[in-house]
Amino acid sequence: MRQVLGSGGDIGIDRAVQVARGTAESYPGARLEADEVIEFTQNYYASIRESDTGIGAFEILISRSTGAVTREPGPDMMWNTKYAGMGRGMMSGFYGHG
């Protein structure tokens, strides 16, 4: 798993958008897309939605310094039965998108 460093230790909003899109696309057959990416002090936040229905699938946090992705802590991690176990190691914690 590769970590991505930007200039000055921040990957930047454009790279965060790419990471969010890559995360959505990493769910085979799910037809997901990044809905929005928001910049915060500690990280970037992105919501991932189903392309066909517009229904929210899950939310992620993207590290500002490394580009590593984690699931947004909260009810989604515990009760999201549709997307909880899919993807590239999402439930095991962090993974980088490069």
Predicted local confidence at residue 78, as pLDDT: 66
C-alpha to C-alpha distances, 84 to 5, 9, 12, 40, 65, nearest whole angstrom = 28, 30, 27, 24, 25
> Which amino acid belongs to residue 96?
G
Question: How many Cα atoms occupy the beta-carbon half-sphere of 73 within 13 Å?
Answer: 1
Predicted local confidence at residue 91, as pLDDT: 39
Q: What pTM, to 2 d.p., does this model score?
A: 0.75
Q: Report DSSP state, residue 90.
A: G
Place of tokens 């909880």: 84
Residues 90 and 78: their CA atoms lie apart, in Å, by 13
**pLDDT means over runs of 10, the chain (98 residues):** 55 97 90 95 94 92 95 74 56 42
